[in-house]
Structure 1
Amino acid sequence: MNPDQFQKNNMYIETPEGGKNFDDDGRDKRTGTWVTASAHIITAVIGSGVLSLAWAIAQMGWVAGPAVLLAFSFITYFTSTLLADCYRSPDPVHGKRNYTYSEVVRAVLGGRKFQLCGLAQYVNLVGVTIGYTITASISIVAVKRSNCFHKHGHQASCAIQNYPFMILFACIQIVLSQIQNFSKLSWLSIVAAVMSFAYSSIGLGLSIAKVAGGGHVRTSLTGVEVGVDVTGPEKVWRTFQAIGDIAFAYAYSNVLIEIQDTLKSSPPENKVMKRASLIGILTTTMFYMLCGILGYAAFGNDAPGNFLTGFGFYEPFWLIDFANICIAIHLIGAYQVFCQPIFGFVEKWSQGKWTNSQFINGEHALNIPFCGTFYVNFFRVVWRTTYVIITALIAMVFPFFNDFLGLIGSLSFWPLTVYFPIEMYIKQSKMKKYSFTWTWLKILSWACLIVSIIAAAGSIQGLSQSLKKYQPFKAQQ
């Protein structure tokens, strides 16, 4: 064993200096760069949320829609820079590493806030994985329906259930979930990031073609019109839900620390993470603005919840098929980005609880031809497989796309993206109470809390309406 590393039951003790192949905490040398971190961020951010942006802007119109989108991008980037400085504490460059978001909160704030953070983070991560299971199945069903219409004509019923495809998605995730940790996911995130650019670009191209082709669509400065498109109460609830959808589209703070923990020690991780966050947010905001604005220009106030489905299932059917396949591939990678922190938390807790259990701590070498040696842990296989199955079952019971995205975004935005980063920054910097900076940071936090509450209310109302019309296990028409 290398003298600079001490490992027992996968629990590490920090050492002053790392060896040639190990970092200062005794773990394997981290190899991540701003490129891999940016890929992780883009994979996490440009997800299924982009598909609902045209609908969200349609609810608020040409003025409020883009303004809300830009506001969320700025807030997300600003608070991500605060959070990046907390990876090491108390000093952001030479302090002790914190491997997860909740560990950062425990190190800086401690006590009850650590427990609340853990609850918020892991509930959000579970919700995102459920949402991605729903979205991936919708995309695969769209491919099947498109091919059905192309083969049998536009008048064919082509009713297809999405449940078999949820099961297929879950089976793929069961295999990929055996990837041991976040540091092994770089290749998957890069593939997923490429896929996200592909389907976003296709959506943009189709929107531009639809706008250029003419045809009258109704748009307005304030979005859907009361008395024409919706009733007064519906306008309010839809606006609230749209805010939640946009919040979901920028959700990645809950995995930021885990991404930062993959970076090399030099240059300092916080500087590299800030650069990666800037690149990631700028890139996604550009795509979001284009997809949202051009999607609204193409469909007007009738913009669908998933703007790719608005182009129909007809011609060019092959291009829309390809876009939907890209979505499914992207979500395969994004699912892993969001579930790895859950896996790590449960496994680390179990290793500490049952240190002598060979079932939980034992690693068994498995030689795979042409792939090398793969280490199998029986607890990891059972636990991760069970998790994937449970999330797939929940997705089958509640297959609601837009309402689900809005609820996840609203519940996670304030605590994980705004509240904890601001509170930790205030604590670490020893900021004077009631100073100018302290005051405006608190105002920002409270304003975002109000936004999260109204977005959650809109999403809950939307879910209740969907449940009234829901017929379980019925094929999509």
Structure 2
Amino acid sequence: MAGELHNKVTLTRGELETVEHGNSEENSHHHHFDDDGRDKRTGTVLTASAHIITAVIGSGVLSLAWAISQLGWVVGPVVLMLFSFITYFTSTLLADCYRSPDPVSGKRNYTYMGVVRSHLGGFKVQLCGLAQYGNLVGISIGYTITGSISMAAIQRSNCFHRNGHEANCYANNNGFMLIFASFQLILSQIPNFHKLGWLSIVAAVMSFAYSTIGLGLSLAKVAEGNDNFTTTLTGVTVGEDVTGNEKIWKTFQSLGDIAFAYAFSTVLVEIQDTLKSSPPENRTMKRASFIGVATTTTFYMLCGCLGYAAFGNKAPGNFLTGFGFYNPFWLVDIANICIAIHLIGAYQVFCQPIFQFVENKCKSRFPDSTFITKDFILDLSFTSLHINFFRLIWRSAYVVITTVIAMILPFFNDFLGLLGACAFWPLTVYFPIEMHIAQAKIERFSLRWSCLKMLSFTCLAVSLLAAAGSIQGLIKDVGSYKPFQGPPHE
């Protein structure tokens, strides 16, 4: 120790300045970059949980009362709990696959496709990309539909308040889709996932707000007591509420709606890639997944069951915009404002992986193109903006295209059910299980291998049934849709 101190004291002034400068540069580099040279990540359990809650408690919660009404008091809550257990279990498997081959010290994989490439490879990488990015585009469309329905519901709520509940208060959703899209045109210029923490926290708060309002309104309606709304152990009654065929198709569709309500695996890897490396990302992600899934399941059980108790077998497809509740109209308005704000943020959480994928591909293919790679700094009096012309044009085009498709397909429940059915098995179940088997080197035909494969096969069967029910519902809705009377299931 004394020798070290003596050496430091006898250094010349120039040598000391050189050492200090070198240490300063090294510390600065360490401060701004991760071990792989990328920008240093700052994500925590709080931000990851906010991202998950923002992604999970979306438009899916609004259809759960309807889904429970199709399944009844016995099967409905059981299915909800099963989906939550499966989602949490597979999310822990996926969290361990973020680094490869070792879940703590292995190489980082920045995207879901990158994780699949490291563990499985081959054509499964393309299959994953098709499932993930196709689903993300679908969610963008679904959130545009739902956000516009919530905005239109505010206009309709005030119309009903002025003119009575029997008034013809149709509001055209297309104008509200354009308003929703205008917000997305601005927010889509946020460069990457790492800059979305504040938006996800705001959106998560909004999701708690409208879920709580829905719970309160449902509880008040149950307390009032209404003999017009009946509930049963098996849900809607054949011969009284629906035909036998309708019962089957709507049961399948409700499975898709519940699956969609738990769809966050599509962005789990990208969320994990925002986390600090200490403590290990997989440990932090498992905690965040538990917090997120436990919180959302609690809200789902309350919203679904209390919504069913309030409306019985006549539960609307969207219990805050289907006008099961008319009063107090201002509280319904607040709930729908919260839904709109939440979905504006959630849209960005699901779009960022698409934006990053396209932009990284273009940068790697055209590294010398200043149009694609260069950021221009615009200094304003209060801040500075980084503008990339390729990002500006491509992301704006994406928002416009998804908005146009949403205008063509304004069907809430069936669309959500189809999205849930298409995404649940491949992204939430199949790939996490296959990668876990490969990473842990689980012996073929062992008990653990057989149980995991059986779980995957069962979820595949459920997804196929849900997809069939949703497609049948979409075909029926398209055939009966009249644009000036509002979309079905609104």
TM-score normalized with structure 1 length: 0.95
* Equivalent runs, 1:230-379 vs 2, <5 Å: 230-312=242-324, 314-370=326-382, 372-379=383-390
Partner of 2:232: 220
2:311–2:324 CA contact under 8 A, matched in 1: no
**What is the identity, as a one-letter code, of the residue corresponding to 2:369?**
S
* Equivalent runs, 1:54-453 vs 2, <5 Å: 54-216=65-227, 217-312=229-324, 314-370=326-382, 372-453=383-464
- Percent identity, please: 69
2:149–2:321 CA contact under 8 A, matched in 1: no
Q: CA deviation at 1:437?
A: 0.3
Alpha-carbon distance in structure 2 between the residues aligned to 1:3 and 1:164: 59
1:18–1:24 CA contact under 8 A, matched in 2: no
Alpha-carbon distance in structure 1 between the residues aligned to 2:485 and 2:71: 32
Q: CA deviation at 1:60?
A: 0.5
RMSD (Å), alpha carbons: 1.6
Deviations 1:354-406 (A, max 9, x none): 11111111110111322x22211000000000000000000000000000000
Deviations 1:47-89 (A, max 9, x none): 0000000000000000000000000000000000000001111
Compared with structure 1, are the counterparts of its residues 475 and 462 closer, same or farther at alpha carbon in structure 2 (3 Å cutoff)? closer
**What is the identity, as a one-letter code, of the residue corresponding to 1:80?**
S
Alpha-carbon distance in structure 2 between the residues aligned to 1:473 and 1:176: 31
**What is the identity, as a one-letter code, of the residue corresponding to 2:199?**
L
- Classify the secondary structure of the residue corresponding to 2:31: coil
**What is the identity, as a one-letter code, of the residue corresponding to 2:271?**
I
Alpha-carbon distance in structure 2 between the residues aligned to 1:294 and 1:27: 47
Alpha-carbon distance in structure 2 between the residues aligned to 1:130 and 1:177: 15
- Classify the secondary structure of the residue corresponding to 2:316: coil
Partner of 2:16: none
Deviations 1:271-318 (A, max 9, x none): 000000000000000000000000000000000000113554632000
**What is the identity, as a one-letter code, of the residue corresponding to 1:316?**
P
Q: CA deviation at 1:198?
A: 0.3
Q: CA deviation at 1:470?
A: 1.4
Compared with structure 1, are the counterparts of its residues 156 and 358 closer, same or farther at alpha carbon in structure 2 (3 Å cutoff)? same
Q: CA deviation at 1:472?
A: 3.9
Compared with structure 1, are the counterparts of its residues 230 and 312 closer, same or farther at alpha carbon in structure 2 (3 Å cutoff)? closer
Partner of 2:5: none
Alpha-carbon distance in structure 2 between the residues aligned to 1:342 and 1:474: 35
Compared with structure 1, are the counterparts of its residues 473 and 178 closer, same or farther at alpha carbon in structure 2 (3 Å cutoff)? farther
Q: CA deviation at 1:159?
A: 2.2
Alpha-carbon distance in structure 2 between the residues aligned to 1:306 and 1:358: 47
Deviations 1:414-470 (A, max 9, x none): 000000000000000111111110000000000000000000000000000000111
Deviations 1:19-59 (A, max 9, x none): 22110111111100000000000000000000000000000
Structure 2 unaligned blocks of 5 or more:
1-20
Q: CA deviation at 1:100?
A: 0.6
Compared with structure 1, are the counterparts of its residues 18 and 412 closer, same or farther at alpha carbon in structure 2 (3 Å cutoff)? farther
**What is the identity, as a one-letter code, of the residue corresponding to 2:118?**
A
Structure 1 unaligned blocks of 5 or more:
5-16
**What is the identity, as a one-letter code, of the residue corresponding to 2:338?**
C
**What is the identity, as a one-letter code, of the residue corresponding to 2:329?**
F
- Classify the secondary structure of the residue corresponding to 2:271: helix
**Structure 1 segments of 4+ aligned residues over 6 angstroms from their partners:** none
1:53 aligns with 2:69: no
Question: Highest CA radius of gyration, 1 or 2?
Answer: 2
1:44–1:334 CA contact under 8 A, matched in 2: yes
Alpha-carbon distance in structure 2 between the residues aligned to 1:160 and 1:144: 7
Alpha-carbon distance in structure 2 between the residues aligned to 1:253 and 1:436: 26
1:18–1:25 CA contact under 8 A, matched in 2: no
Alpha-carbon distance in structure 1 between the residues aligned to 2:273 and 2:92: 15
Deviations 1:137-160 (A, max 9, x none): 000110001112223444432221
1:18–1:26 CA contact under 8 A, matched in 2: no
**What is the identity, as a one-letter code, of the residue corresponding to 2:160?**
F
Alpha-carbon distance in structure 1 between the residues aligned to 2:61 and 2:307: 10
Compared with structure 1, are the counterparts of its residues 3 and 345 closer, same or farther at alpha carbon in structure 2 (3 Å cutoff)? farther
Compared with structure 1, are the counterparts of its residues 40 and 446 closer, same or farther at alpha carbon in structure 2 (3 Å cutoff)? same
Alpha-carbon distance in structure 2 between the residues aligned to 1:221 and 1:306: 21
Alpha-carbon distance in structure 2 between the residues aligned to 1:203 and 1:18: 49
2:315–2:324 CA contact under 8 A, matched in 1: no
Alpha-carbon distance in structure 2 between the residues aligned to 1:339 and 1:275: 24
Compared with structure 1, are the counterparts of its residues 475 and 410 closer, same or farther at alpha carbon in structure 2 (3 Å cutoff)? closer
**What is the identity, as a one-letter code, of the residue corresponding to 1:112?**
F
Alpha-carbon distance in structure 1 between the residues aligned to 2:140 and 2:161: 32
Alpha-carbon distance in structure 2 between the residues aligned to 1:416 and 1:383: 26
1:456 aligns with 2:467: yes
- Classify the secondary structure of the residue corresponding to 1:20: helix
Q: CA deviation at 1:218?
A: 1.0
1:163–1:473 CA contact under 8 A, matched in 2: no
- Classify the secondary structure of the residue corresponding to 1:309: coil
2:321–2:336 CA contact under 8 A, matched in 1: no
Q: How many residues align?
A: 463
Partner of 2:6: none
